[in-house]
């Protein structure tokens, strides 16, 4: 599920107006009632006002710093409507400074967290024109500011299509790996034992214990110590079919196949005998159709499927002496 997007400029203006009115000593009870009615109209209103409150609170230390326009406004605010007008201008300037700082190109920037549930995936359009595709059970934190664009892949898998900017680099942090885009499209998959980086287009620079550039068609594994690991029998085309809701296995071990399936389904699938895990399977399957995948496995490998509970399945050899 995606975190809420920032409010539109029009809503921000309304929220700023209400914020200034409520902070004014001349705010009337009818205005407060009107504000609560506006707040109750929609979630967007409540979100916009919450954002403005957060910016106002963040600017609190700056309000105590000498600021000529603000000081003049405060000096006159109780003496005339003109003073109140100046106070509004000063407050608006302070708030505008906060909004600028928290824009995608500001010096503080924008922090957003995106996530997907198991069995779901999502495509997101980022503020710079890049796109971020999240696979099942994935969490990513995005931080854009004036100097850089960065994404922390907390868990799961993501595909990045990056809009090139000469002034701002685009970096992805995944475990011990730091990936810097040099104008490209690439996939990053955080497995329990390693991070896999696969480049579909362009070039990326990967840095961990060592540094290396990867070009289109290349991939690399990085273990938990930050050491590079060559990948054997890995087809890049087979790493990203999830973007179309598919899984592609080419001569993959059965235990690897079951590990992949567990990413998409809340069902525990285990083997009666570990030796079965060495069996190999190939095929293209839909990520959502678990029964279809298991039936294909049972047909090809001559195994039996036992449903022990609603979320537990055991695979065993059809020739098992226990049967």
Q: List beta partners, residue 306.
A: 314
pLDDT at 102 over 60: no
Q: Helices 43-58 and 29-41 sit at what angle, rounded to 10 degrees?
A: 120
Q: What is the mean pLDDT of residues 111-115?
A: 88
Distances, alpha carbon 257 to alpha carbons 1, 80, 278, 279, 316, in Å: 26, 75, 11, 10, 15
The Cα 174–Cα 192 span in angstroms is 12
pLDDT higher for 158 or 16? 158
Query: Which residues lie below 8 Å from residue 146, measured CB to CB, with a gap of 6+?
Result: 105, 106, 107, 109, 168
Per residue in 210-255, pLDDT (tens digit) is: 999 999 989 999 999 999 998 875 667 667 899 999 999 988 999 9
Q: Helices 81-101 and 9-23 sit at what angle, rounded to 10 degrees?
A: 140
Residues of the chain with CATH 2.60.120.1440: 110-234
End-to-end Cα separation, the chain, in angstroms: 45
* Assigned architecture for domain 245-317: 3-Layer(bab) Sandwich (3.55)
The Cα 310–Cα 321 span in angstroms is 26
Per residue in 283-321, pLDDT (tens digit) is: 999 999 999 999 999 999 989 999 888 889 999 987 644
pLDDT at 49 over 90: no
The Cα 143–Cα 110 span in angstroms is 6
Per-residue confidence at 76, pLDDT binned at 50, 70, 90? very low
Q: What is the mean pLDDT of residues 111-130?
A: 91
Per-residue confidence at 281, pLDDT binned at 50, 70, 90? very high
Confidence at residue 63, expressed as pLDDT on a 0 to 100 scale: 53
Whether 212 contacts 206, CB under 8 Å: yes
Whether 114 contacts 137, CB under 8 Å: no
pLDDT higher for 194 or 56? 194
Per residue in 158-208, pLDDT (tens digit) is: 999 999 888 888 999 999 999 998 778 999 999 989 999 999 999 999 999
Domain 110-234 of CATH type 1.10.357.10: no
Per-residue confidence at 88, pLDDT binned at 50, 70, 90? low
Confidence at residue 80, expressed as pLDDT on a 0 to 100 scale: 47
The Cα 317–Cα 323 span in angstroms is 9
% of the chain beyond a pLDDT of 70: 76
Q: Is the dihedral of CA 122, 178, 250, 266 positive or negative?
A: negative
Confidence at residue 293, expressed as pLDDT on a 0 to 100 scale: 93
Query: Which residues lie below 8 Å from residue 222, measured CB to CB, with a gap of 6+?
Result: 175, 176, 177, 194, 195, 197, 206, 208, 228, 229
Confidence at residue 105, expressed as pLDDT on a 0 to 100 scale: 59
Confidence at residue 1, expressed as pLDDT on a 0 to 100 scale: 40
Q: Which of 99, 84, 135, 117 is nearest to 6 (CA)?
A: 99
Confidence at residue 79, expressed as pLDDT on a 0 to 100 scale: 46
Give the Cα-Cα-Cα angle 241, 246, 251 (nearest 5 degrees): 80
pLDDT at 5 over 50: no
Residues of the chain with CATH 3.55.50.30: 245-317
């Amino acid at each position: 599920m995606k975190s809420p997007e920032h409010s539109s400029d029009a809503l921000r203006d309304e929220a700023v107006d209400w914020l200034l009115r409520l902070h004014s000593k001349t705010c009337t009870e009818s205005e407060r009632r009107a504000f609560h009615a506006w707040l109750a109209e929609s979630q967007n209103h409540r979100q916009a006002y919450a954002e403005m409150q957060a910016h106002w609170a963040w600017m609190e230390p700056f309000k105590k710093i000498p600021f000529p326009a603000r000081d003049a406004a405060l000096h006159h605010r109780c003496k005339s409507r003109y003073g109140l007008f100046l106070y509004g201008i000063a407050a608006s300037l302070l708030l505008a400074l906060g909004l600028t700082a928290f824009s995608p190109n500001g010096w503080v920037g924008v922090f957003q967290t995106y996530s997907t549930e198991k069995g779901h995936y999502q495509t997101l359009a980022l503020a710079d024109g890049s796109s971020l595709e999240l696979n099942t059970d994935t969490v990513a934190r995005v931080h854009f500011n004036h100097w850089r664009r960065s994404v922390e892949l907390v868990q799961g898998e993501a595909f990045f299509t990056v809009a090139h900017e000469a002034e701002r680099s685009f970096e992805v942090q995944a475990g011990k790996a730091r990936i810097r885009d040099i104008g490209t499209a690439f996939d990053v998959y955080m497995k329990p034992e390693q991070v896999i980086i696969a480049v579909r287009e362009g070039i990326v620079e990967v840095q961990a214990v060592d540094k290396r550039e990867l070009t289109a068609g290349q991939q690399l594994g990085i273990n938990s110590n930050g050491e590079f690991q060559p990948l054997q029998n890995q087809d890049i085309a087979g790493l990203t079919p999830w973007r179309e809701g598919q899984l592609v296995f080419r001569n993959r071990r059965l235990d690897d196949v079951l590990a992949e399936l567990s990413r998409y389904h809340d069902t525990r699938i285990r083997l009666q005998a570990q030796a079965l895990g060495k069996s190999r399977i190939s095929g293209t399957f839909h990520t959502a159709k678990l029964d279809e995948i298991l039936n294909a496995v049972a047909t090809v490998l001559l195994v039996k499927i036992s449903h022990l509970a609603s979320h537990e399945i055991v695979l065993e050899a059809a020739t098992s002496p226990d049967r």
